[in-house]
A and B are shown apart, each in its own frame.
Chain A
Amino acid sequence: MVYLRSEEHLRRWLDDNDHREPGATLTTPKMNELSLRWWGTRLDPAWRPRPPDESQAILDGLDLTGEFWSLS
């Protein structure tokens, strides 16, 4: 998962790397929001493994849906 400066840089990067199929692109504000929801409890003393459906719900809650974002 990498940072890119713009859509143009993304296209060039994909072209320069064996024409890889593009995956998913998020703005950094959206990635920050995902980070808060995904990692925010990681250091909690009461942390337990998060069930897959709860992880999927985090993605769904940010409209990260469809085949690419399916965890199962």
Chain B
Amino acid sequence: MDAFDLDVRRHVYRSVAENGRPPTTGETAAGLGVGATEIADAYQRLHDAHALVLFPDTTDVWMANPFCFAPTPHTVTAGGRVWTGTCAWDALGIPAALHIDASIASACACCGEPVALEVRDGELVEGGELLVHILVPARRWWDDIGFT
């Protein structure tokens, strides 16, 4: 990953943290003072390198893991915003990435009953009785990241 792509990725993640959503290619182009086509190419390279995930056949960011920009069952309230976690792991990843406290609202995959977790100062203080199940072996996580 070259310095330009690292700059683009840094801009995307900073925008996510500051605005709660990923920047469009146009916004990143304006922010970095380069052409939108160069940014679109960089987004694609970052996608190919698993540093971002784009919606299929677009340059719109679907995931800047652990943050997700499509609906999932995993809602994370932290830092005055409501975020979406890609999965049960990523939901816990949001407070870890932001280094802030968080409340996670999700549902049991079996019965659909709501489940709640709380992270304070990095410690799980509510929801410690719950389990997380991972179906896909680690070497295949990126085969279909949406399913994983």
Binding site for B on A (CB under 8 A): 1-7, 9-10, 12-13, 16, 20, 22-29, 31-32, 34-36, 38-40, 42-43, 45, 47-49, 59, 67-72
- Stretch of B22-30, B34-42, B114-122 contacting A (4+ beta carbons < 8 Å): B114-122
Q: Is the interface of B mostly helix, strand, loop or mixed?
A: mixed
Measured CA separation A24–B134 after assembly (Å): 5
With A36-B122, A43-B97 in contact, do A4 and B108 touch (Cβ < 8 Å)? yes
Q: How many residues of B contact A (CB 8 A)?
A: 50
A-B contact pairs, 16 of them (CB 8 A): A3-B109, A5-B115, A13-B110, A22-B133, A26-B132, A27-B128, A32-B92, A32-B123, A35-B66, A39-B96, A39-B97, A40-B99, A42-B13, A42-B93, A47-B9, A72-B139
> Do B97 and A28 have beta carbons less than 8 Å apart?
no
With A1-B87, A2-B87, A23-B133 in contact, do A32 and B97 touch (Cβ < 8 Å)? no
A59 nearest CB neighbor, chain B only:
B138
> Do B119 and A1 have beta carbons less than 8 Å apart?
no
> Do B109 and A49 have beta carbons less than 8 Å apart?
no
Which of B58-110 touch A at CB < 8 Å?
65-66, 87-90, 92-99, 106-110
> Do B89 and A23 have beta carbons less than 8 Å apart?
no
Residue B32, interface by CB 8 Å: no
Given contact pairs A28-B124, A70-B137, enumerate 6 new A-B contacts (beta carbons under 8 Å).
A4-B131, A13-B109, A25-B132, A26-B131, A27-B131, A39-B65
Measured CA separation A15–B122 after assembly (Å): 34
Q: Which of B123, B128, B138 contacts A68 (CB 8 A)?
A: B138
Measured CA separation A60–B1 after assembly (Å): 26
- Chain A residues with CB below 8 A from B98, complex form: 43
> Do A31 and B137 have beta carbons less than 8 Å apart?
no
Measured CA separation A29–B17 after assembly (Å): 25
Determine how close the nearest CB of chain B comes to the CB of A64; give it in whole angstroms: 8
Determine how close the nearest CB of chain B comes to the CB of A32; give it in whole angstroms: 4
With A40-B97, A42-B13, A48-B6 in contact, do A3 and B130 touch (Cβ < 8 Å)? yes
